[in-house]
Amino acid sequence: MVGALRGEVARAWLAWPAIYYGGGYGLHLWSIHEAQLRIATIEADNASTYNVREPFSFSIDSYAPTTVFLQKFRIQAIYVGRNSAEPPFVSKDYIGDADECSRADPRSNTGPWRLNRFGDHADDTHPVGTQGKPACVLSVPHPTGDPEYAVDRLRFTDGPPSLPYYEDLQGWRVRDRKTGVIVGSRISRDLVPLAAVPFLFAGCGLNSGAAKYDCGAVWWTDKEMPVAPPIINSIPADAWDENALLTDLLSRSQIPLR
């Protein structure tokens, strides 16, 4: 470029940096626009309410304070994937009446077991109010029954070339298990647009799965870039609480409180 300015080489060479940096800045503006559109969609979804059929029951594969939700909302049952158990199994957590709670046997392999909010504790009950009678939360392993809804935990990070920005997503959604339709969601996203000064990351590396070298190039987008772009977010991820987000999602399901 210096040589072109001095007239040592053709001035046409000045077009290349102009195209590179000018085009990079254009991509930066475009990525900000796309990120703002995505955030507007997310915030609209987060603010909307939805209706589920009653009696409301759902399956969930991630850890969640099921006892808290059963006490707070009129949920018939929560089917929990106990994936950390060996072997993994599914349990049905629900509110039992006083008679069921008194019959719960901690030594039984088939349940029901009594739960409190801190996990499985066979020697403890967590009382909740059910029509003025003492009750507890019970858990039955390997239940029969088919919940109508699934609560899916969402968490991923993605970026170029699939998107014009770096994306850090966390959240939950409620899905109709029969139709697959998403009926409600609560999502936190951080979006980092492309930088105003483009940084092209290119190279080759060994793909051990395919036993070959793969090469590629992407625009480098990272929160720790030398020229940091603005971070656009819905709910800031660093202030995000997973259980609070799930509670908020359920509170907009039009299921009445107990």
Q: What is the pLDDT of residues 95-149, one digit of tens each?
A: 887 777 777 776 666 667 766 533 333 334 444 444 455 577 888 888 888 899 9
Examine the pLDDT at 228 and tell me if it is beyond 50.
Answer: no
The model's confidence at residue 183, banded by pLDDT at 50, 70 and 90, is: very high
Q: What b/e string do you get for 195-217 counting C-beta neighbours within 10 Å, with b at 16 or more?
A: beebeeeeeeeeeeeeeeeeeee
Examine the pLDDT at 165 and tell me if it is beyond 80.
Answer: no
Burial of 194 (0-12, 13-18, 19+ CB in 10 A): buried
The model's confidence at residue 60, banded by pLDDT at 50, 70 and 90, is: very high
The model's confidence at residue 224, banded by pLDDT at 50, 70 and 90, is: very low
The predicted structure's pLDDT at residue 68? 82
Across all residues in the chain, what is the average pLDDT?
A: 76
Examine the pLDDT at 193 and tell me if it is beyond 60.
Answer: yes
The predicted structure's pLDDT at residue 190? 77
- Rounded distance, CA 60 to CA 151, Å? 5
Sign of CA dihedral 41, 44, 45, 46: positive
The reply to whether the predicted model has a pTM over 0.85 is no
Q: Identify the residue with better confidence: 189 or 222.
A: 189
Structure tokens at 83: 């994936």
Backbone φ and ψ for 179, nearest 5 degrees, come out as -100, -20
CB contact at 8 A, 252 and 184: yes
The model's confidence at residue 151, banded by pLDDT at 50, 70 and 90, is: very high
DSSP code, position 256: P
The predicted structure's pLDDT at residue 230? 58
The predicted structure's pLDDT at residue 7? 61
The predicted structure's pLDDT at residue 86? 77
